[in-house]
Amino acid sequence: MTAIIEAHGLGKAYGDFEAVKGIDFHVEPGEFFGMLGPNGAGKTTTIRMITCVTPPTAGRLLVDGLNVEQDDRQIKARLGVVPQDDNLDEDLTVRRNLEIYARYYDVTGSLAKERIDEGLELMQLADKAGEQIHALSGGMKRRLIVARALVNDPRILILDEPTTGLDPQARHLVWRKLRLLRERGVTILLTTHYMDEAEQLCDRLVIMDEGVILDGGRPRDLIAKYAGSEVLELHLLPEERASIRAMIEPHVGESGRIEQIEDVMYVYGLDPAVAAEVGAQVEDPYRVYHRRANLEDVFLTLTGHGLTE
Amino acid sequence: MAIVAKQADPPRRRNGELPLLGVAMPGRRTYRVWQRNRDVFFQLWRTELVPPLMEPIVMFLALGLGLGTYVELTGDLDYIQFLAPGVLVIFPMFAATFESLWGAYWRLERSGTYAAILATPARPEEIVAGDILWAATRMLINSLLILLVMAVLTAPWDLIQSPWVILTIPVNLLAGVLFASLGLAYTSKAKSISQLSYFFSLFIMPMFWFSGAFFPLDGLPGWAEVLAWLTPVFHAVELDRALITGDLAWSDLYHLGWIMVMVIPAFWFALYSMRRRLVQ
Give the pLDDT confidence of B48-84 residue by residue, as tens digits.
888 888 888 888 888 877 888 888 888 888 899 999 9
Residue A61 falls within a domain, yes or no?
Answer: yes
* Contacts across the A-B interface (CB distance below 8 Å): 78
Contact A14 B44 (CB under 8 A): no
> Which chain B residues contact residue A76 at CB under 8 A?
119-121
Residue B13 falls within a domain, yes or no?
Answer: no
B110 has a chain A CB within 8 A of its CB:
no
Contact A92 B16 (CB under 8 A): no
Residue A69 falls within a domain, yes or no?
Answer: yes
CA separation for the pair B33, B37 (Å, rounded): 6
| Residues B98-106, mean pLDDT to the nearest whole number | 97
Across the interface, of A14, A79, A89, the residue whose CB is closest to B40 is: A89
Which residues, given as ranges, of chain A have pLDDT below 70?
Answer: 1, 285, 308-309
CA distance B184 to chain A (A): 20
Task: Determine the 3-state secondary structure of B79 from DSSP.
Answer: helix
CB A158 within 8 A of CB A189: yes
CA separation for the pair B206, B202 (Å, rounded): 7
**A182 and A283 together in one domain:** no
B189 has a chain A CB within 8 A of its CB:
no
CB A131 within 8 A of CB A90: no
Task: Determine the 3-state secondary structure of B15 from DSSP.
Answer: coil
Residue B182 falls within a domain, yes or no?
Answer: yes
Q: Is the pLDDT of residue B145 over 60?
A: yes
Give the count of domains, chain A: 2
> Which chain A residues contact residue B119 at CB under 8 A?
51, 53, 76, 79, 81, 83
Q: How many CA atoms lie within 13 Å of B201's alpha carbon, on the beta-carbon side?
A: 5
Predicted confidence band of residue B256 (pLDDT cuts 50, 70, 90): very high
Q: What is the DSSP letter of B110?
A: I
Residue A303 falls within a domain, yes or no?
Answer: no
Residue B237 falls within a domain, yes or no?
Answer: yes
Residue B212 falls within a domain, yes or no?
Answer: yes
Rounded to 10 degrees, the C-alpha dihedral A39/A44/A45/A51 comes to 180
**A37 and A85 together in one domain:** yes
Residue B10 falls within a domain, yes or no?
Answer: no
CA distance B183 to chain A (A): 23
Contact A104 B43 (CB under 8 A): no
Domain boundary among A219, A244, A263: A219
Predicted confidence band of residue B1 (pLDDT cuts 50, 70, 90): very low
**A103 and A192 together in one domain:** yes
Residue B18 falls within a domain, yes or no?
Answer: no
Residue B11 CB: number of other CB atoms within 10 A? 7
B50 sits in which H/E element = helix B50-59
> Which chain B residues contact residue A73 at CB under 8 A?
15-16, 121, 123
The residues facing A215 across adjacent strands are: A207
Please give the ipTM for the structure prediction.
Answer: 0.91
> Which chain B residues contact residue A71 at CB under 8 A?
15
CA separation for the pair B188, B278 (Å, rounded): 9
Predicted confidence band of residue B13 (pLDDT cuts 50, 70, 90): low
Predicted confidence band of residue B12 (pLDDT cuts 50, 70, 90): low
pTM score of the predicted model: 0.92
Q: Of A12, A83, A19, A5, which is closest to residue A50 (Cα–Cα)?
A: A5
**A175 and A51 together in one domain:** yes
Which amino acid is it at B62?
A
**A164 and A259 together in one domain:** no
CA distance B92 to chain A (A): 24
**A149 and A171 together in one domain:** yes
B185 sits in which H/E element = helix B168-189
Q: What CA–CA distances, in Å, run from A225 to A139, A196, A228, B220?
A: 35, 18, 6, 84
CA separation for the pair A4, B222 (Å, rounded): 68
> Which chain B residues contact residue A77 at CB under 8 A?
121
Predicted confidence band of residue B260 (pLDDT cuts 50, 70, 90): very high
Residue A89's CATH number: 3.40.50.300
Predicted confidence band of residue B257 (pLDDT cuts 50, 70, 90): very high
Residue A298 falls within a domain, yes or no?
Answer: no
Residue A297 falls within a domain, yes or no?
Answer: no
Which stretch of B7-21, B64-78, B227-241 has the lowest confidence by average pLDDT?
Answer: B7-21
CB A139 within 8 A of CB A86: no
Which amino acid is it at B181?
S
Which amino acid is it at A56?
P
Q: Of A78, A150, A160, which is closest to residue A120 (Cα–Cα)?
A: A150
Contact B123 A100 (CB under 8 A): no
Q: Of A4, A156, A142, A151, which is closest to residue A78 (Cα–Cα)?
A: A156
**A194 and A260 together in one domain:** no
**A134 and A255 together in one domain:** no
CB B125 within 8 A of CB B154: no
Q: Of A12, A21, A75, which is closest to residue A45 (Cα–Cα)?
A: A12
**A58 and A125 together in one domain:** yes
Residue A152 falls within a domain, yes or no?
Answer: yes
Return the pLDDT at A308. 64
**A113 and A157 together in one domain:** yes
Question: What whole-number percentage of chain B has pLDDT above 70?
Answer: 95
Among chain A, residues having any CB pair with chain B shorter than 8 Å are 14, 51-55, 69-73, 76-77, 79, 81, 83, 85-92, 96, 100-101, 103-105, 152
DSSP H helices, B162-252, are 168-189, 196-199, 205-209, 222-230, 232-245
CA distance A91 to chain B (A): 7
**A132 and A246 together in one domain:** no
Rounded to 10 degrees, the C-alpha dihedral A26/A29/A32/A35 comes to 20
Contact A55 B36 (CB under 8 A): no
Q: How confident is the model over B146-189, as pLDDT tens digits?
A: 999 999 999 998 999 999 999 999 999 999 999 999 999 999 99
Residue B261 falls within a domain, yes or no?
Answer: yes
Give the count of domains, chain B: 1
CA distance A119 to chain B (A): 17
DSSP H helices, chain A, are 43-50, 72-78, 94-104, 109-122, 138-149, 168-183, 195-201, 219-227, 238-248, 272-281, 295-303
Residue B258 falls within a domain, yes or no?
Answer: yes
Residue A286's CATH number: 3.30.70
CA separation for the pair A268, A301 (Å, rounded): 10
Domain that holds residue A131: 5-219
Contact B111 A89 (CB under 8 A): yes
Which of A100, A132, A159 is the mutation pick for testing B, counting most B CBs within 10 A?
A100
Interface list for B 27-66 with A (CB within 8 A): 29, 32, 35-36, 39-40, 43-44
Residue A270 falls within a domain, yes or no?
Answer: yes
**A172 and A250 together in one domain:** no
The Cα angle at residue A136 between residues A134 and A140, in degrees rounded to 5: 140
Higher pLDDT, B16 or A152: A152
Domain that holds residue B205: 34-278
